[in-house]
A and B are shown apart, each in its own frame.
Chain A
Amino acid sequence: MIHARGLVKRFGDLVAVDGIDLDVKRGEAFGFLGPNGAGKSSTMRMIGCVSPVSDGTLRILDRDPAVDGARIRARLGVVPQQDTLDFELTVRENVLIYGRYFGLSRRELKPRIDELLDFVQLTERAGDKVEPLSGGMKRRLTIARSLVNDPDLLLLDEPTTGLDPQARHVVWDRLFRLKQQGKTFVVTTHYMDEAEQLCDRLVVMDHGRIVAEGSPWELIQRYSTREVVEVRFDDERPGAGVLGDVAERVEELPDRALLYTSDGDATAAQLHDRNLPPHSTLIRRSTLEDVFLHLTGRTLVD
């Protein structure tokens, strides 16, 4: 569905995407994970055929965006990062007008819109204006709109950024249904739980490059350990040298230390054996967040 080799996007002197290779197959749920400014959205815009490729090869649905942009876009469903809904129109009209952009007739759109609004649980709001809808409802409407042309490939750019936890879960639930229906989609996110829930395979991007690739589970295995012990000490905390050999890797943070280990209980027990009882101990499974922070660092990106 997507094939990229040495893909580059430059804005003047700034290199937003710095030579990435990608292959997304039919039916796959593929994720771009990365901090702000990593080049995720620029990549998505190139895939969405609204941003010309600066260098390298890109093929979407076996076509070249530079030549066949409109024909590719006819087969895409796009959920942009910022809403592009028409606040003056009703929920139904928003999907209708968007469907018209694809050249679909009003007659074929009517049943399709009913179906889509039902899918995103907005049937009751069909006649309401968009303006007063909640953020989660607007997102769901955007998703319904992106499905109006029954796309082969869905592009979701940070689909749940800015939503409250309930609204996020509703959106995930809908996206998960689409995944079960066999839709191919590409998601960008900086939420680890989102990537773990939705993606079969993902790449971690940083500074315009791909720094890791694999399934969520593979990435955790490769770049982290099975479990993490988070420990906090009262006053005098033991140095990394002392903690060093109780875990495979130790990361010292201002308020706590993270011990990466295959067996959290054993590591915690060892601390007690050595007379280093922490003030508090949390043993948890390693997550993509650990992978992500390991790969892209803890420095704040603005």
Chain B
Amino acid sequence: MESVLQPLRAYEHWLAQYKRVWRGTIGTSLVNPILYVTALGVGLGTIVDQTQNAPGGVPYLDFVAPGLVAAAAMQTATIESTWPVMSAIKWSRVYHAMIATPLSERDAFVGHQLFVITRVFTSAAAYLAVIAVFGAVASWWGILVVPVAVLIGTAFSMPMAALAAAVEEDRTFVTVFRFLIVPMFLFSGTFFPVSQLPLALELVAYATPIWHGVELCRMLTLGTVEALPALGHVAYLLAWSAVGFELARRSYRRRLLG
């Protein structure tokens, strides 16, 4: 019982902090999706649709919108698991306060991840609502985009937390964004099918968790779910989450218990 309750106590800390800023984040959770969907789905989409050669044979808005939701989940999860983790270790030292009490370093880690999941969940729900209003959700399967976004979130936040607890300088995070997150955002099937990439890069794209997340979200909103590929994508994202969890657990232990 305690092992379930203890991470929730650490989670309370992050909620208390979030309580002070949530209004601002709700704003960005709605405004950002509206800007992206308008610019890419409606603006660029109109031009793409005129070519009569739209990817997947659907209006470009319908193609790009689920990709944007998946990419946003990746970004939110990554941001929430990098600087805040380093701060809790080095700057605010919040983790050190937690582990001086009955909470363990594992509770501190799990509690923080629960909060990351909360952030991904709420922003994905807002994103889904926006694309639904734009008419980009063709099926009730679309609801499942929210839990899938959470799974995309953990596939990124767990390994990122492992990294953030291991490195000394926050410069590393800028490098991660520049060379991993941004390329994944641009080239992993969000804006165009990866089959258009040179073969080598196409294979790299299949290895990224975000491609699997984008594919899943897209089949859900378009209502073209096929069981086997869907399960494959879920399993792949789960594997990243599970390996990340274990790495992060070790990384936290090494860092906090010296």
Pick from A50, A89, A93, A96: contact of B99, CB under 8 Å: A50
Distance between B37 CB and nearest chain A CB, rounded to angstroms: 32
Kindly report which residue of chain A lies nearest to residue B103, judged by CB atoms.
A101
Interface size class of A (residues with CB under 8 A): 20 to 34
Pick from B9, B96, B100, B104: contact of A103, CB under 8 Å: B9
A89, B19: Cα distance in complex, Å: 10
Kindly report which residue of chain B lies nearest to residue A85, judged by CB atoms.
B97
Distance between B219 CB and nearest chain A CB, rounded to angstroms: 40
Evaluate contact between A97 and B12: CB separation under 8 angstroms.
Answer: yes
Interface size class of B (residues with CB under 8 A): 20 to 34
Evaluate contact between A51 and B257: CB separation under 8 angstroms.
Answer: yes
Distance between A271 CB and nearest chain B CB, rounded to angstroms: 53
Evaluate contact between B101 and A88: CB separation under 8 angstroms.
Answer: no
Interface flags, A75-86, vs B, CB<8A=1, else 0: 010101011111
Evaluate contact between B101 and A52: CB separation under 8 angstroms.
Answer: no
Stretch of A23-31, A66-74, A172-180, A197-205 that contacts chain B: A66-74
Distance between A99 CB and nearest chain B CB, rounded to angstroms: 9
Question: Within B204-258, which residues are at the interface with A (CB < 8 Å)?
Answer: 256-258
User: Assuming A51-B258, A84-B94, A88-B20, is B13 touching A78 (CB within 8 A)?
Assistant: no
User: Assuming A51-B257, A93-B16, is B93 touching A76 (CB within 8 A)?
Assistant: no
Evaluate contact between B94 and A73: CB separation under 8 angstroms.
Answer: no
Residues in B whose Cβ lies below 8 Å from that of A93: 16
Residues in A whose Cβ lies below 8 Å from that of B17: 86, 88-89
User: Assuming A70-B102, A82-B93, is B257 touching A100 (CB within 8 A)?
Assistant: no
Evaluate contact between A78 and B100: CB separation under 8 angstroms.
Answer: yes
Residues in B whose Cβ lies below 8 Å from that of A96: 16
Distance between B176 CB and nearest chain A CB, rounded to angstroms: 25
Pick from A11, A48, A97: contact of B100, CB under 8 Å: A48
Pick from B12, B20, B96, B101: contact of A73, CB under 8 Å: B101
Distance between A82 CB and nearest chain B CB, rounded to angstroms: 6
B92 at the interface (CB under 8 A from A): yes
A93, B94: Cα distance in complex, Å: 14
Evaluate contact between A89 and B256: CB separation under 8 angstroms.
Answer: no
B98 at the interface (CB under 8 A from A): yes
Residues in A whose Cβ lies below 8 Å from that of B10: 101
Question: Within B1-49, which residues are at the interface with A (CB < 8 Å)?
Answer: 2, 5, 9-10, 12-13, 16-17, 20
A45 at the interface (CB under 8 A from B): yes
Residues in B whose Cβ lies below 8 Å from that of A98: 97, 101
Evaluate contact between B92 and A101: CB separation under 8 angstroms.
Answer: no
Pick from B12, B16, B20, B256: contact of A50, CB under 8 Å: B256
Question: Within B78-129, which residues are at the interface with A (CB < 8 Å)?
Answer: 92-94, 96-104
Evaluate contact between A84 and B101: CB separation under 8 angstroms.
Answer: no
Chain A interface (Cβ < 8 Å from any Cβ of B): 11, 45, 48, 50-52, 69-71, 73-74, 76, 78, 80, 82-89, 93, 96-98, 100-103, 149
30 contacts between A and B (CB under 8 A): A50-B99, A50-B100, A50-B256, A51-B257, A70-B104, A71-B102, A73-B101, A73-B102, A74-B102, A78-B100, A80-B93, A80-B96, A82-B96, A84-B96, A84-B97, A84-B100, A86-B92, A86-B94, A87-B92, A88-B17, A88-B20, A97-B12, A97-B13, A100-B12, A101-B13, A101-B97, A101-B101, A101-B102, A103-B5, A149-B101
Additional pairs, 17, CB under 8 Å, beyond known A80-B96, A96-B16, A97-B13: A50-B100, A69-B104, A70-B102, A71-B102, A73-B99, A74-B101, A80-B93, A82-B96, A85-B97, A86-B13, A89-B17, A89-B20, A98-B97, A100-B12, A101-B9, A101-B13, A103-B5
Give 6 nearest A-B pairs by CB, closest first. Answer: A84-B97, A101-B101, A78-B100, A84-B93, A70-B102, A74-B102
Chain B interface (Cβ < 8 Å from any Cβ of A): 2, 5, 9-10, 12-13, 16-17, 20, 92-94, 96-104, 256-258
